[in-house]
Amino acid sequence: MADIVVMRYDVHGMPVDQYATALRDRLPEWDITVAETPDAERDLIAEATVLTGNDVSPKLVDAADALELFAGTYAGYDHLPLSELADRDIALTTASGVHGPNVAENVVGSWLAFARGFFTARRHQREGVWQSFHTDDFAGSRVCVVGLGEIGQAIVDRLQGFDVETVGVRYSPEKGGPTDEVYGFDEIHEAVADTEYVGLACPLTDETHHLVDEAVFDTMPPEAVLTNVARGPVVDTDALVSALQRNHIGGAALDVTDPEPLPGDHPLWDFENVLITPHNAGHTPSYYDRLADIVAENVRQAERTGEWDGLRNQIEL
C-alpha cells in the first residue's frame, strides 16, 4: 500500500524517480511509491490517498476508493477527467508557478538577444566575418505582457531594473496588476501600439484563440518582437508568416507553434529573425523540487485541517 502514488510519466525527460525522492525528502512519514507499470497503477491507486502525475484516466479514477487528491504535474488541467474527479469529490491541484522563473528568463533572454543583435553576431561568427552592426537598447522600450498569471508576473518581476515601460493585458483589467498600464483582451490593439516587445503568457481559450492576428500585427510597430510561451494557436500562424514576409514586425521567438511540432518544411524555419525552441522554455532542473514543495505544502495543510480544500493551486470542480 502507498499513501502517495507517483505515476510513471516523466516531465521534460527527467526521471520521475527524482520527483518521488523530492516528495520523500519533504514527507518522510508518508509511504511514497512510483507506479512503474499500468498494472501497478491499478493496484496502487485502490488505496492511495494522493495520486500525482500529468494525466489520469476515468477508469483509474473510478478505481480510486480512498483518493483525496490528484496533484497534477502540469499547469494546465483541461485534459483531465474533471467531471469524474468532481463526482468522486477528489480535489485537484496543478503545478502552476513551477514554470514561472525559467519561462520568464526565456522571454526576457529572447528580447535581449534581439535588442543586442546576438543572432547577427552568431551568423557573423559562423561565417568568420569581423564587421560591426547596429543594435538597440532594451532600456527605454515599451514592453507588453499578455497574461498576468504566475508566468506573466514572473516576466514583469524580471523586467525590474531594465528601465522599461510595462503594459499588461489580462481578462480582468479592473484588478490592476504589476505593470504600468493594464488593458483587457478586447483592448489588445491599444496595448501593443508603440510597443517594441510583446510577450504572450496567457492560457488558450475561446477568447485568446488567434488573439494575435493580421490586424494586431498591423497595429504593432514594424520593429516589434513577438515572443510566444503561451500556446501556439494564440497566434494566427498564417498572419505571422505574412507579417514576417512583409517586414511588418521585427522578429519572433516561438517556444510554441501551431501546428506543433512544427513540420520540417514550414516557412517559419527559414526566417533569420525567428527563433524557434521546441516547447522547451518550461525545462528547469528545479522542476520536481518546486512541484514537490507545492504537493507537500498541500498535504501538510490537509493533515492540519482534516480537509482537502483551500489548497494551493486548487481547481474548483
3-state SS of 214-228?
A: HHHHHHCCCCCEEEE
- How many angstroms separate the first and last alpha carbons of the chain? 28
> Rounded CA gap, 257 and 267, in Å?
12
> Rounded CA gap, 26 and 297, in Å?
9
Same CATH fold assignment for domains 4-98+284-315 and 99-276: yes
Average pLDDT, the chain: 96
Average pLDDT over residues 122-145: 97
> Rounded CA gap, 110 and 88, in Å?
44
Judged against a pLDDT cut of 70, whether residue 297 lies above it is answered with yes
Q: Are 170 and 147 in contact (CB under 8 A)?
A: yes
Dump pLDDT digits (tens) for 165-213.
999 999 999 999 999 999 999 999 999 999 999 999 999 999 999 999 9
> Rounded CA gap, 184 and 41, in Å?
44
> Rounded CA gap, 33 and 44, in Å?
8
Q: What percent of the chain has pLDDT over 90?
A: 94
Q: Which residue has the cell 500529468?
A: 54
> Rounded CA gap, 123 and 84, in Å?
53
3-state secondary structure of 1: coil
Verdict on whether the full-model pTM lies above 0.75: yes
3-state secondary structure of 248: coil
Residues assigned a catalytic role: 231, 260, 279
> Rounded CA gap, 169 and 188, in Å?
7
3-state secondary structure of 252: strand
69-74, long-range: CB within 8 Å, 24+ apart, which pairs? 69/93, 69/298, 69/299, 69/302, 69/308, 69/311, 71/294, 71/295, 71/298, 73/11, 73/19, 73/291, 74/11
Banded model confidence at residue 13, pLDDT cuts 50, 70, 90:
confident
Mention every residue, 6+ apart, whose C-beta is less than 8 A from residue 234. Answer: 146, 200, 202, 204, 208, 209, 210, 211, 212, 228
- In this prediction, residue 2 carries a pLDDT of 63
Banded model confidence at residue 1, pLDDT cuts 50, 70, 90:
very low
Q: Are 247 and 271 in contact (CB under 8 A)?
A: no
- In this prediction, residue 11 carries a pLDDT of 85
Q: Map out the domains of the chain as residue ranges.
A: 4-98+284-315, 99-276
Mention every residue, 6+ apart, whose C-beta is less than 8 A from residue 52. Answer: 4, 5, 6, 7, 19, 23, 70, 71, 72, 73, 295
Dump pLDDT digits (tens) for 71-97.
999 988 888 999 999 999 999 999 999
Dump pLDDT digits (tens) for 44-76.
999 999 999 999 999 999 999 999 999 999 988
Average pLDDT over residues 145-174: 97
Question: What is the grid cell recorded at 121?
Answer: 553576431
**Residues paired with 192 in a beta bridge:** none
What is the fold, at CATH topology level, of the domain defined by 99-276? Rossmann fold (3.40.50)
Which of 1.20.1440.130, 3.40.50.720, 3.10.20.740, 1.20.58.390 is the CATH number of 4-98+284-315? 3.40.50.720
Question: SS3 breakdown of the chain: % helix, strand, coil, rounded to 5?
Answer: 35, 15, 45
